[in-house]
Amino acid sequence: MDIEPNETQALVARTARDFAERVIAPVASELDRTERYPREILQGLADLGLMGVNVPASLGGAEAGPVSYALAMMEIARACASTAVLMAVTNMVGEVIARFGSEAQRATYNPRLCSGEYPAGSFALSEPEAGSDPGSMRTTAERTSKGWVIRGQKQWITSGSYAGVYVVWARTGGPGTRGLSAFLVEGGTPGLIPGKPEDKLGLRASNTVPLTFDDCVVPEDALLGNEGEGFRIAMMALDGGRIGIASQAIGIATAALDRATEYAKQRKQFGKPIGEFQALQWTLADCRTELDAARLLALRAAWLKESKKPFSAEAAMAKLYASETANRVCQKALQLHGGYGYVREYGVERHLRDVRVTTIYEGTSEVQRLVIARNATR
């Protein structure tokens, strides 16, 4: 694995950084405060090729690879974590369709996701009673003369009010994970009912809603992959998604640490900048070291994926370590600000609120430990 990015990877990272600094960062606090869905920003990301980083060029994507995607995600999350998760889910949906979709599905949906014609894609796996345990899923899809009829509920669906296409998991067979299949459902399909947006601690500009499928009829060819293949599709998607969330966590924590470092240079107590006190210097040193280690874990997992080598355990390690490290770093960054860290004006509290969910979604820390242990002992 090369530590230094190649020309393409460096270009993607620079492009993302420039857009994040010019366009996203100046409005990030306002987006958080108003909970406004950043439609125009997502279009800007699409125009730069960042809504289909891993999607083949023939389908409208950038075809820049997983390492480029991880680097871009770090830069976008550094500016706005809400925007980053919207980008992450749309990239994951596009990659799933490009890999498992039929020729017609790829031709229909990938160009629309990559170009921004669709504001976003949604990944509808979790349910009120089925989070870490997809085998207990209750949503069903029944084959009829009209097509597939989907009935059930989904929970925690990013971009659920705005997506142009949803990847929806439902039970088509018996109990457990072998009875699951995946479907592509277009936004606006009768019977697909987005619920009230969740009032979240963080990521407040990212739309998160429950979905109800009330006799939602989709065509026979809406099936993604083969019947009964849904669990395999979901797990392969989540492996890649964990690289994205690790990168998001790193970006958030980098922003918090940048603020803390600058504050330590400016804030004076006892006649000198607080950054000259050894206790705070050690805190900053530990944060920077741990964050760099997390970054290398994320890039290793991305490189393995790009090299078409097994990466499931490495993605879980990256997600586990990056998310937990990022939470510690953001906590310490706020503490270093003292009372000023507790108010919105200084911005660091937003990073702490945003980073909290990274140990939960795309598989909790506990699930990541299970994945790592099972890979080690099988």
| Active centre residues (catalytic) | 362
Tokens of 333: 């960054």
Identify the CA nearest to 169 among candidates 114, 177, 161.
177
Q: Are 124 and 183 in contact (CB under 8 A)?
A: no
Tokens of 354: 């945003």
Rounded CA separation 263/333 (Å): 10
Task: Extract the runs of DSSP E, i.e. beta strands, from the chain.
Answer: 121-124, 140-144, 147-158, 165-171, 180-186, 192-194, 208-218, 223-224, 268-269, 272-273
DSSP secondary structure, 237-283, as one string: HHHHHHHHHHHHHHHHHHHHHHHHHHHHHH-EETTEEGGGSHHHHHH
Q: How far apart are the first and last CA of the chain?
A: 26
Identify the CA nearest to 115 among candidates 47, 184, 44.
47
